[in-house]
Amino acid sequence: MKVLIIGAGKMGLAITRQLADEGHDITVVDCDSEKIQTVSDMYDVITLEGNGESFEVLRAAGVKDMDLLIAASGDDAVNLVCSVAGRYLGAKEAVIRVKDPEYTREREMLSKGFGVSASFNPDLETASEIARILQFPEAARVETFARGQAELVEYRIPADSPLHELPMKELRNHFHAQVLICAVERDGSVFIPKGDFVLRSGDRINIAGPRKELRKFFSAVGRNAKTIRNVILLGGSRIAVYLSRQLISSGIGVTIIEKDHARCEQLCSLLPDATIICGDCCKEEVLLEEGIRKTDAVAALTGFDEDNIIVSMYAANLGVGKVICKVSDDHFINMLQKSVLDTLVCPKLLAASELARYVRALQNAQGSSVESLYRLIDNHVEALEFTVGANSAVVGKPLMSMRIAPDVLIAAVIHGREVSIPSGNTVIEAGDRAVIVTTRSGLRNPDDILE
């Protein structure tokens, strides 16, 4: 697809990388020459220095031929103007980044009044991701497929785990759970495991299955974490506000520690059911006084990555059951893979992934049947959900009779409301949804899994 991205800041750069990696035809516009040069040096995309609100600049960028305009600057008003101007000049679809909660609530107005096809809010995306993880605290990451019927959970095997030295073919009989380990990262190498693959402690694995079966699996391996009942949020950011509302509505108690007194007063007004503490969350005495040793979970959400990392490591070393650390610079994610921090969230990457899913939905009308796509294990693995058409070559045949590519694994098959972990006798029917895990990129329909 032809995509015009307005804004080459951290958010725009993350979107550019995600969509360029998926083969889209990208043009990036920004008025900052250094940012434009950075994009040009890093990616094979067209760049243009100029104001994205300008009709002249938009025309020069070829907006009339664009399938999608993405306004990703840090200013909501600027993004709205870019969207309206772009749509007026011929862009087929327009998506805008928003930070103000008021814009997030007024999606119908944005659509009908301004022609905005969709909006994305990185802070809200991050809060929702953290809320999902806190509902499944064993996981470092949780992705959902088939409208929540199947889940893909990332988990690192600890040293004392019964999974250590276990061959994959013995997994189901050993733990009596209908789950499938579909990707493994070990010492920097990535594997799509087959039956003779032997698991080891330290492996980072991705496990697919229905939530009930995943619970059964984690209970069997002795890692069924207790239910989260109270959470301490470090920093009173917008993410903290969004997250608090979601957690409180789920019956989870929330305490927020924020050092700015004026912000604390705002938080008291915005979140009357939360406990607001005015104090420096980077000071040990404050954390201990507010009960960090006794809380079920901690999420570090300040505006400084270094502070978040340090206090998260401190909480993990104290033995807090679940620790989540927000980082804005995605370079920290690779640097911290071997640390005590197993759950890192990056707002710009989450928002870029959500945008990529929106683009894939637009592509469905152009011959692709991808419903969802998630990148796993530092983007080395893709997990895709396909809707299987009646004319697909995979319909009506047992999987054992197909020549499936060696770098592909069918992780789950969803037939109506029933989720199954496939075996060699599984037969995929027209209308089923299949979750495919692969180290190959560019799959557009189920037939691409065949040799």
Q: What is the pLDDT of residues 386-408, one digit of tens each?
A: 888 888 888 888 988 988 888 88
Residue ending a domain, among 320, 346, 379, is: 320
Q: Which residue has the higher pLDDT, 350 or 111?
A: 350
Q: Is residue 188 part of a domain?
A: yes
Same domain, yes or no, for 191 and 257? no
Same domain, yes or no, for 146 and 109? no
Same domain, yes or no, for 107 and 186? no
Q: What is the pLDDT of residues 408-422, one digit of tens each?
A: 888 888 888 788 888
Same domain, yes or no, for 183 and 249? no
Q: Is residue 328 part of a domain?
A: no
Q: Which domain range does residue 305 map to?
A: 230-320
Average pLDDT over residues 133-148: 78
- Check residue 106 and give its pLDDT: 64
Q: Is residue 128 part of a domain?
A: no
Same domain, yes or no, for 34 and 112? yes
Query: Average model confidence (pLDDT) for the chain?
Result: 87
Same domain, yes or no, for 189 and 237? no
Same domain, yes or no, for 203 and 243? no
**Whether the predicted pLDDT of 449 surpasses 90:** no
- Check residue 41 and give its pLDDT: 92
Residue ending a domain, among 156, 187, 220, is: 220
**Whether the predicted pLDDT of 441 surpasses 80:** no
End-to-end distance of the chain based on CA atoms, in angstroms?
Answer: 27
Report strand pairing: 322-326 vs 297-300: parallel
Q: What is the pLDDT of residues 165-179, one digit of tens each?
A: 999 888 888 888 888
Q: How many domains does the chain divide into?
A: 4
- Check residue 34 and give its pLDDT: 94
86: its two tokens: 């772009």
Q: Is residue 242 part of a domain?
A: yes
Same domain, yes or no, for 154 and 252? no
Same domain, yes or no, for 211 and 257? no
Residue ending a domain, among 93, 120, 147, is: 120
pLDDT band for position 113 (cuts 50, 70, 90): low
Q: What is the pLDDT of residues 213-253, one digit of tens each?
A: 888 888 888 766 678 999 999 999 999 999 999 999 999 99
Overall residue count recorded for the chain in this entry:
451
Distance separating alpha carbons of residues 190 and 305, to the nearest angstrom: 28
**Whether the predicted pLDDT of 365 surpasses 80:** no
Q: Which of 105, 131, 103, 129 is nearest to 248 (CA)?
A: 131
- Check residue 188 and give its pLDDT: 83
Q: What is the pLDDT of residues 183-212, one digit of tens each?
A: 999 988 899 888 889 999 989 899 988 888
Q: Is residue 211 part of a domain?
A: yes
Q: Is residue 309 part of a domain?
A: yes
Q: Is residue 212 part of a domain?
A: yes
Same domain, yes or no, for 202 and 234? no
What's the 3-state SS for 188-255? CEEECCCCCCECCCCCEEEEEECHHHHHHHHHHCCCCCCCCCEEEEECCCHHHHHHHHHHHHCCCEEE
438: domain CATH number is 3.30.70.1450
Q: Is residue 282 part of a domain?
A: yes
Same domain, yes or no, for 18 and 46? yes
Distance separating alpha carbons of residues 224 and 406, to the nearest angstrom: 33
Beta carbons within 10 angstroms of residue 99's beta carbon: 15
29: domain CATH number is 3.40.50.720
